Amino acid sequence: MVFSSFSFLFFFFPLVLILYYAGFRYTKNVILLIFSLIFYAWGEPVYIILMLLSITINYITGLLIERNIASNRMLSARSNLILAAVWNLFAIAFFKYYPFLVSNVNGIFPDLLPDYNLSLPIGISFYTFQALSYVIDVYRQKVPAQHNYISFALYISMFPQLIAGPIVRYSDVAREIKNRTLSLHDFASGSERFIIGLSKKVLLANTFGIIFENIQGLDSSHQAIITAWIGALSYAFQIYFDFSGYSDMAIGIGRMLGFHFIENFNYPYLAKSITDFWQRWHISLSSWFKEYLYIPLGGNRKGALIQIRNILIVWMLTGLWHGANWNFIFWGLYYGILLILEKFVFASFIKRFPKIYRILTLFLILISWMLFANADLSALFGFGKIAFLNQTTWYYLKSSILILAIGAFACLPFLNPYGKHIKKKAPFLAVTLLTGLLLLCIVSLISQSYNPFLYFRF
């Protein structure tokens, strides 16, 4: 189910809220769990079995590890952790990466591996990473194992962040799963966040998606360098508003239900460098890789060569996490190489010319999105004797300039102080504006065709 669908907005979510708030304290988790499972099963009921299997196995593993540690059997605890990691990684590898393996191996040795053509279980990358972080944290004794099956199942399957994150760590929500307070303030701020996220998706991301798709569909006679850059800019805005919109909605729904999920975005296009960009973009994923892979590999503690190796491993896997395709691997390695260059080559340049490097960072990010979208890079740099600009460019410039300006404006935190001021001085006006935004989204949804979130496919 998609947050920006009528079935969610007018049926599913209102029903969840009514039953959740009407229910007793001890029934709230059960209600949330039941609706989370319905939410997941909406698209592909059969994969709920896989998720329940994952929940049960990771739940039991947590208990086993805790018991092993309590009786000082550290080797057994470690073995259980390794087996759990293998189980989780095998599940994700088979469903997500097997088709990629088949296409590559069979490309060299025809028909060597059978192609099962199974569909990808939605959200598998997100809930597997949550489960892994739980068993690792129990092993590291950062958190006690969860003894209540319903509470653990709720942690893995909670519908606001189940399908496209943020990747919530167990330690961040354990307390709230057990005991949370519901307040009018949280409900109001959650609703506000949800409407803002919905507007980002419906009004901005989908509009930029249309521009990008149209430019991608142009034949070579209509291509021009500037047109290609308008397309790149549109995709950069689309992916940001799409994904940060989803995160806003997830955080908003969580807050309405009494949970406080971590922030996933912090104005990434304001980044001063690529390192800074990844501290602002998909924060929950980059911090996951840092804590559970980069640091255990040795991080930057074992010399420059090992650090370079670690960065390349982490970023190749970050790319692979996004999708089973070569363009994602190249995209990940592209960032790995840029981060290595920033750390070992450009460090003094960044300090001396921060403004120039900020512009260069934006340029590098735009190129990375074209790799991510598997788009043709040659048009961006004018390869193949294409014009600098042509009639089509003027058409796109005229028709998209306003929405591009709105997109650029909405990427920056300019509006925040005004929003706070309006909420404080004229709350009625703030509510009216938000209601207007919500109505605008609903009207737009009526006229739009199906637009899934880009991150659903990961």
When asked if residue 315 is in the footprint of another protein (CB under 8 A), the reply is no
When asked if residue 72 is in the footprint of another protein (CB under 8 A), the reply is no
# binding residues, another protein (CB under 8 A): 43
The nearest distance, CB 219 to another protein, in angstroms, is 15
CB 98 within 8 A of CB 116: yes
CB 350 within 8 A of CB 273: yes
Distance from C-alpha of 276 to C-alpha of 267, rounded to nearest angstrom: 10
Please indicate whether residue 322 is annotated as part of the active site. Answer: yes
- Where does residue 223 rank: exposed (0-12), middle (13-18), buried (19+ CB within 10 A)? buried
Q: Which of 213, 302, 356, 427 binds another protein (CB under 8 A)?
A: 213
When asked if residue 422 is in the footprint of another protein (CB under 8 A), the reply is no
Phi, psi for residue 224 in degrees, rounded to 5: -150, 160
When asked if residue 416 is in the footprint of another protein (CB under 8 A), the reply is no
> Residue 212 carries which side chain, given as an amino acid letter?
F
When asked if residue 113 is in the footprint of another protein (CB under 8 A), the reply is no
Q: Which of 72, 117, 179, 181 binds another protein (CB under 8 A)?
A: 117
Nearest in space to 237 (alpha carbons), one of 263, 215, 259? 215
When asked if residue 347 is in the footprint of another protein (CB under 8 A), the reply is no
CB 124 within 8 A of CB 416: no
The encoded tokens of residue 270 equal: 């304001």
The nearest distance, CB 256 to another protein, in angstroms, is 24
Helix (H, G, I), strand (E, B) or coil at 436: helix
Contact set for another protein, span 6-45 (CB under 8 A): 7, 42-44
Q: Which of 23, 299, 419, 452 binds another protein (CB under 8 A)?
A: 452
CA 376 to chain CA centroid, nearest Å: 24
The encoded tokens of residue 413 equal: 């935190």
End-to-end CA distance of the chain: 15
Q: Which of 19, 57, 366, 433 binds another protein (CB under 8 A)?
A: 57
Q: Which of 80, 125, 130, 264 binds another protein (CB under 8 A)?
A: 80
**CB closer to another protein out of 57 and 293:** 57
**CB closer to another protein out of 118 and 359:** 118
387 forms bridges with which residues in the sheet? 224
The residues, ordered by sequence, that sit 6+ positions from 310 with a Cβ below 8 Å of its Cβ are 294, 297, 298, 299, 300
The nearest distance, CB 193 to another protein, in angstroms, is 23
- In the complex, which residues of this chain contact another protein (CB under 8 A)? 1-2, 5, 7, 42-44, 46-47, 49-50, 53, 57, 60, 64, 73, 75-76, 79-80, 82-83, 87, 90-91, 94, 115-122, 163, 213, 217, 449-452, 456-457
Q: Which residues are catalytic?
A: 322
